[in-house]
Amino acid sequence: MLTGHLAGNIARPGSVGIIFVIPILYCCQMPENQNNPAALPNDFAFDVGLENFEERVIQPSFEVPVLIDFWAPWCAPCLALKPMLEKLATEYNGRFLLARVNSDEFPQIAQHFGVRSIPSVKLMKGGRLADEFNGALPEGEVRAFIERHVPPATTSQREQAAALIAEGRFEEALPILAEAMQTNPGDEAIRLDLAEVIMELGRLDDAQTLISGEFQQEADRARTLRARLALADNPVDKAKLAELETRLATNPDDHAARLELANAQAGAMKYREALDSALEVVSRDRNFNDGAGRKAMLQFFEALSGNERFDDLVREYRRALSATLN
């Protein structure tokens, strides 16, 4: 039996607190070997048992919804649902909590909630059971379930900055991201957002400092940002640009000059112009210098990938390159 206080506070929707003890019918056969679950990712997801159920589930449910995930380490659907729920708990950033109950270790809790099979997810609000679902549902259905109960999201500093960046208002986004990074110094996404804004403002050394070191969660984005920074780190002065343009006006088939111009344009963050110049080389002579025009475009694609601002541009020129080569 659960403690008297706990049993008296758990009620099913529409009930008067009468709880039936029902044997649990498990989802699959128990294998000989069981693996311990991986550690949970953050303060929004945690294991609970008899000792801390009131503290970690009932009391917080008066502030935010609490999802209770009934599972067992040998249950394959449970292990499929686990990472999705953990990801959503992290993504929702405290708008709900995820409490995980091992039904093998704490059958009393499962029985008091009327769990008949696992995985089974119960949602508590205000100390009472408010909703539930059973089985490993698709992520879209789980999101819809959560959205029915969580409070509205507030706009984060990163979202505020993203809206300004989309409008090209980098100076205004800078202090917002700087403050966000000070608050969350370990957030790699914010760090890269800040580096990108600083790079757009021409502060290349500062951007280099921000993207130095190792990135665990944002490794791909850090790599592409370093590629963009490498392009911008070779500036070409106006006199050199004028010389290249004069050479091309005199001889449009001067592919070396056109590729040099493409790199200069990319260094000045004029990415459409750079892609146009490189594509022109491919169009005029795809085999020039062992396919240098195509290689330049691929280099530009890598530098621009992983950034929503450039997704449409990259798709447009990937199609153009494919059409030119075919």
pLDDT of residue 2: 53
**Where residue 43 falls among pLDDT bands split at 50, 70, 90?**
confident
Q: What is the pLDDT of residues 63-92, one digit of tens each?
A: 999 999 999 999 999 999 999 999 999 988
pLDDT band at residue 142, thresholds of 50, 70 and 90? very high
Establish if 89 belongs to a structural domain.
yes
Domain span including residue 171? 157-232
Residues β-bridged to residue 47: 100
Among residues 172, 197, 232, which one ends one of the domains?
Answer: 232
Q: How far is CA 101 from CA 104, 106, 109, 115, 165, in A?
A: 9, 7, 8, 11, 43
Number of domains composing the chain:
3
Residues 82 and 11 in one domain: yes
Of the candidates 147, 180, 201, which is a domain's last residue?
Answer: 147
Q: Which residue has the higher pLDDT, 2 or 48?
A: 48
CATH number of the domain that residue 190 is part of: 1.25.40.10
Choosing from 232, 248, 270, the residue where a domain stops is 232
pTM: 0.50
Residue 11 and residue 119 share a domain: yes
Q: Are 138 and 190 found together in one domain?
A: no
CATH number at residue 123: 3.40.30.10
Residue 107 located in a structural domain? yes
- pLDDT at residue number 42: 59
Mean of pLDDT over the chain: 86
Q: Is residue 152 part of a domain?
A: no
Tell me which residues are annotated as active site: 75, 78
Question: Which strands, in side-by-side order, build the sheet including 45-47?
Answer: 45-47, 97-102, 66-71, 120-125, 128-134
Are residues 142 and 12 located together in one domain of the fold? Answer: yes
pLDDT score, position 38: 36
Given a cut of 80, is residue 272 above it in pLDDT?
yes
Between 10 and 153, the more confident residue is 153
Whether 306 is covered by a domain: the verdict is: yes
